[in-house]
C-alpha cells in the first residue's frame, strides 16, 4: 500500500508581538511529499496537486493585489521615520474620522511591531501582511494626565516609537490640544501594548475599550483611501 502525506507550507515570522496571539500566515507554495517516489501521472501525487492548485492560485491572486503606491521607500528606524509616522497617523485618522472628542487623542504603537519596510512603487496585500503579520487589534485606553510623564520616560528609554498627534521633546510629551482642565487623554494603541506588552506598564489597570478591529486592516484601509501614501518624515521623538 502506498502511503502519502500532505504538507501545506506556510511562512511566518518566528517572533510575535504577543505570546498569546496566533500569527497570520503568509501563504507560499503548496507542495506534496510522499513516502515513496511514485509520481506517475494518475497517481495520488498528481491528484492532490490538481486538487490544491485552485486554492493556491486564489491565494496568490489575493496576496498580489495592489493596495497603494509610494514614491518614497518607507522604513522603521528609531527615533522616528516615515513608516513609523505613517502607521501611527493611519490609525489615528481612521479611528477619529468624523468624530468629536472632549479629550485629546494620541496614538502610540511600538517599533518592534513593524516587521518589514516598503520599497518604492506598488504595494500589495502581501506587503502589509509582511509589515504586520500578527492579528493585533486596536484598543482605546483612557489615560490619566499624570501618566503622560510615564509615556515620556518610556520613549526616552526605548529611543523612539511610532506616535501621532504628539511630539516627544526634551523629556516631555507635547500634546497640542491638551488643556489644564483635561484630566484624561485617550490613547489609541494595540491590544498587546494596552495589556502591558513591550513593558508599557503605564497602561495597566486603566479603563479600556476594545474595538476588535485588526490593526493591519486599518493600515490597509488607509492605504487604499490614499492611493499614494501620504508621508511625513518629521522626527517626532527627539531624545
Domain ranges of the chain: 4-63, 67-238
Residue 158: pLDDT band (50, 70, 90) is very high
Q: Which residue has the higher pLDDT, 44 or 138?
A: 138
Gap between the Cα atoms of 22 and 9, Å rounded: 17
Q: Which residue has the higher pLDDT, 109 or 22?
A: 109
Residue 45: pLDDT band (50, 70, 90) is low
The pLDDT of residue 62 is: 86
Whole-prediction pTM:
0.79
Q: Alpha helix locations (H) across the chain?
A: 44-63, 82-96, 125-131, 148-158, 191-194, 215-226
> For 67-238, which CATH class?
alpha beta
Q: Which residue has the higher pLDDT, 29 or 144?
A: 144
Share of the chain above pLDDT 70, in %: 75
**What is the mean predicted confidence (pLDDT) over 54-59?**
63
Q: Does residue 161 contact residue 108 with C-beta atoms inside 8 Å?
A: yes
Q: Which residue has the higher pLDDT, 213 or 54?
A: 213
Beta strand segments in 117-204, E: 121-124, 137-144, 163-164, 167-169, 172-174, 184-190
The pLDDT of residue 49 is: 62
Q: Which of 4-13, 40-49, 58-67, 80-89 has the highest mean pLDDT?
A: 80-89
Per the prediction, the chain carries an average pLDDT of 85
**What is the mean predicted confidence (pLDDT) over 2-14?**
39
**What is the mean predicted confidence (pLDDT) over 215-220?**
98
C-alpha cell at 185: 487623554
Q: Give the pairing type, strands 184-190 and 137-144.
A: antiparallel
Residue 56: pLDDT band (50, 70, 90) is low
Amino acid at each position: 500500500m502506498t502511503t502519502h502525506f500532505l504538507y501545506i507550507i506556510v511562512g511566518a515570522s518566528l517572533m510575535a508581538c504577543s505570546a498569546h496571539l496566533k500569527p497570520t500566515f503568509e501563504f507560499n507554495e503548496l507542495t506534496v511529499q510522499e513516502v515513496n517516489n511514485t509520481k506517475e501521472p494518475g497517481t495520488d501525487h498528481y491528484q492532490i496537486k490538481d486538487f490544491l492548485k485552485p486554492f493556491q492560485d486564489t491565494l496568490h491572486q489575493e496576496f498580489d493585489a495592489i493596495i497603494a503606491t509610494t514614491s518614497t521607500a518607507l522604513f522603521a528606524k528609531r527615533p522616528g521615520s516615515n513608516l513609523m509616522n505613517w502607521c501611527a497617523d493611519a490609525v489615528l485618522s481612521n479611528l477619529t474620522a468624523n468624530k468629536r472628542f472632549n479629550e485629546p487623542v494620541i496614538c502610540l504603537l511600538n517599533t518592534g511591531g513593524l516587521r518589514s519596510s516598503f520599497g518604492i512603487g506598488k504595494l500589495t496585500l502581501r506587503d502589509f501582511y509582511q509589515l504586520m503579520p500578527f492579528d493585533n487589534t486596536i484598543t482605546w485606553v483612557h489615560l490619566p494626565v499624570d501618566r503622560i510623564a510615564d509615556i515620556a520616560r518610556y520613549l526616552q528609554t526605548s529611543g523612539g516609537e511610532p506616535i501621532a498627534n504628539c511630539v516627544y521633546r526634551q523629556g516631555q510629551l507635547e500634546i497640542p490640544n491638551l488643556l489644564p482642565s483635561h484630566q484624561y487623554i485617550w490613547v489609541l494603541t494595540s491590544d498587546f501594548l494596552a495589556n502591558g506588552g513591550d513593558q508599557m506598564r503605564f497602561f495597566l489597570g486603566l479603563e479600556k475599550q476594545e474595538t476588535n478591529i485588526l490593526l493591519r486592516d486599518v493600515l490597509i484601509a488607509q492605504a487604499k483611501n490614499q492611493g499614494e501614501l501620504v508621508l511625513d518624515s518629521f522626527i517626532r521623538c527627539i531624545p
